[in-house]
């Protein structure tokens, strides 16, 4: 492992004003997204959609540091035969790859899941590195409900995240460590805070035990938010203050950057929350790590709708993607305001 090189990549992933495009929806998930816009999910339509984004010059060069790809996409060529990985690299972006293989029920823990995919991961990482991947992602999911999460679910998922991260670093690939506490429940923001604190503490403990070099990784957490079904919504400032407090108490300063998932927040909420956190950071200059985005839904919902599977709509899809990428770039510097939302990117 060359830690200096891993650290250079990790810092580039969270470079000022840049964030990560999570375009790594599995075939099942992208089908659900395409169903909403009335597009049949085929190998070609998935390629065309992703090619549209990767050819968005301004977005990819100015606002996006890297792209998380799904296994199918990393091997695909654009319509003119250029590998999609090359399109990302030509725009100055870093290709990344989702390497977990989804979730399975965790035995003896009703309603809880464990992320799988460690078997043969070392061999798969070597192939992905050859294909151009310089970072990877593994997502663990922790649900909040009556009596859950259990210690077993938090611990086994943290253990798997650390095993994945250690294997990545050995393969000279920067691991994005993603322990996602879901926002599906009816819990309030304080319960989300408490569970996320438990999950992050456990994750960093496992990373330490398994000798993962913190300088060569990126954390991808959820924010502290109320569950979608909660009667008690939290405002933007409360989300920002509690999330910053939580991260300060759990994430060592050696970690170069934190890139949030959007987790089902609306586009504008995800941007407003990121912006408010960076405004706090700007005021205190007290944040040791970069705070940026690694959004899937919050970056792609608008371009998906604008594109809707039609070649004639490629420019509209690219404009919608560029706008969201620009808004989040501003938010990553604490320079966003809601009145910028009405001014579409050029
Ligand atoms: P969302 O931003 O849609 O939550 O997706 C990010 C991601 O990569 C989830 O694993």
Q: 206 catalytic, yes or no?
A: no
Burial of 13 (0-12, 13-18, 19+ CB in 10 A): buried
Is there an atom of ligand 1 within 6 Å of 296 CB?
Answer: yes
Q: Which of 291, 290, 244, 293 is nearest to 271 (CA)?
A: 293
Q: Is 229 exposed, middle or buried (0-12, 13-18, 19+ CB in 10 A)?
A: exposed
Q: How far is the centre of ligand 1, averaged over its atoms, from the C-alpha of 22 (Å)?
A: 6
CA distances from 266 to 16, 157, 261 (A): 23, 27, 12
Q: How far is the CA of 117 from the centre of ligand 1 (A)?
A: 18
Residues 116 and 103 sit within 8 Å (Cβ to Cβ): yes
Q: What is the mean pLDDT of residues 203-211?
A: 98
What is the reported pTM? 0.97
> Would you place residue 344 in the very low, low, confident or very high pLDDT band (cuts 50, 70, 90)?
low
For residue 220, indicate whether it is catalytic: yes
Q: Say yes or no to pLDDT of 346 above 70.
A: no
Cα–Cα distance measured from residue 37 to residue 22, given in angstroms and rounded to the nearest whole number: 19
- Which one is catalytic: 25, 51, 112, 178? 178
> How would you classify the pairing of strands 103-105 and 113-115?
antiparallel
CA nearest neighbour of 52 among 340, 339, 302, 328 = 302
Instruction: Out of 220, 242, 326, 333, pick the active-site residue.
Output: 220
Four-residue CA torsion sign, 12, 102, 142, 157: negative
Cβ 324 under 6 angstroms from ligand 1: no
176 lines ligand 1 (CB under 6 A): no
Mean pLDDT across the chain: 97
Cis ω before 329 (30° cut-off from 0):
no
> Which stretch of 151-165, 216-230, 233-247, 280-294 has the lowest confidence by average pLDDT?
280-294
- Nearest residue (by CA) to ligand 1, atom 8, is 22
pLDDT for 236? 98
340: number of Cβ within 10 Å: 15
Q: Report whether 272 contacts 338 (CB < 8 A).
A: yes
CA distance 187 to 84: 41
User: DSSP 3-state assignment of 345?
Assistant: coil
Give per-residue burial for 182-206: e unless 16+ CB within 10 Å, then b.
Answer: bbebebbbebbbebbbbbbebbbeb
Q: How far apart, in whole angstroms, are the C-alpha atoms of residue 39 and residue 31?
A: 8
pLDDT digits (tens, 9 = 90+) for 100-157: 999 999 999 999 999 999 999 999 999 999 999 999 999 999 999 999 999 999 999 9
Helix, strand and coil content of the chain, in percent to the nearest 5, comes to 50, 15, 35
Q: Is the beta carbon of 263 within 6 A of some atom in ligand 1? A: yes
Nearest Cα to Cα of residue 182 among 212, 211, 153, 213: 153
Question: What's the average model confidence in pLDDT over 316-321?
Answer: 98
Q: What percent of the chain has pLDDT above 70? A: 98
- Closest C-alpha to ligand 1, atom 10: 139
pLDDT in the model for residue 286: 78
| DSSP-derived secondary structure for 299-313 | HHHHHHHHHTT-GGG
Helix (H, G, I), strand (E, B) or coil at 289: coil
Residue 297 in contact with ligand 1 by CB distance below 6 A: yes
- Measured in degrees and rounded to the nearest 5, phi and psi for residue 120 equal 65, 15
Atom of ligand 1 nearest to the CA of 295: 2
- At 52-110, the pLDDT tens digits run 999 999 999 999 999 999 999 999 999 999 999 999 999 999 999 999 999 999 999 99
Pairing state of beta strands 19-23 and 64-69?
parallel
Residue 345 has pLDDT above 60, yes or no: no
Rg (CA), the chain: 19
Instruction: Single out the residue of 168, 251, 240, 245 nearest to residue 202, CA to CA.
Output: 251
């Amino acid at each position: 492992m060359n830690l200096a090189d891993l650290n250079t990549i990790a810092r580039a992933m969270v470079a000022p004003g840049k964030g990560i495009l999570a375009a790594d929806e599995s075939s099942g998930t992208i089908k659900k997204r395409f169903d909403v816009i009335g597009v049949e999910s085929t190998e070609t339509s998935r390629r065309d959609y992703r090619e549209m984004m990767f050819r968005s010059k301004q977005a990819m060069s100015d606002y996006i540091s890297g792209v998380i790809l799904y296994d199918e996409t990393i091997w695909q060529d654009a319509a003119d035969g250029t590998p999609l990985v090359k399109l990302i690299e030509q725009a100055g972006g870093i290709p990344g790859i989702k390497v977990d293989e989804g979730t399975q029920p965790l035995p003896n823990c009703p309603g809880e899941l464990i992320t799988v995919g460690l078997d043969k991961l070392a061999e798969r990482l070597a192939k992905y590195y050859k294909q151009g991947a310089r970072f990877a992602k593994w997502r663990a999911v922790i649900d909040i409900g009556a009596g859950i999460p259990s210690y077993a679910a938090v611990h086994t998922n943290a253990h798997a995240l650390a095993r994945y991260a250690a294997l990545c670093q050995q393969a000279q690939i920067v691991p994005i460590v993603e322990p996602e506490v879901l926002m599906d429940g009816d819990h309030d923001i304080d319960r989300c805070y408490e569970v996320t604190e438990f999950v992050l503490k456990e994750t960093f403990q496992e990373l330490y035990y398994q000798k993962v070099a913190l300088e060569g990784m990126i954390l991808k957490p959820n924010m502290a938010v109320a569950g979608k079904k909660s009667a008690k919504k939290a405002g933007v400032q409360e989300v920002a203050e509690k999330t910053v407090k939580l991260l300060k108490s759990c994430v060592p300063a050696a970690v170069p950057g934190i890139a949030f998932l959007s987790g089902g927040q609306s586009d504008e909420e995800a941007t407003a929350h990121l912006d408010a956190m960076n405004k706090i950071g700007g005021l205190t200059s007290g944040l040791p790590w970069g705070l940026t985005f690694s959004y899937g839904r919050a970056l792609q919902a608008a371009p998906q709708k604008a594109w809707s599977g039609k070649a004639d709509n490629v420019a509209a899809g690219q404009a919608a993607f560029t706008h969201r990428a620009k808004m989040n770039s501003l938010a990553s510097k604490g320079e966003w305001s809601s009145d910028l939302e009405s001014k579409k990117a050029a």
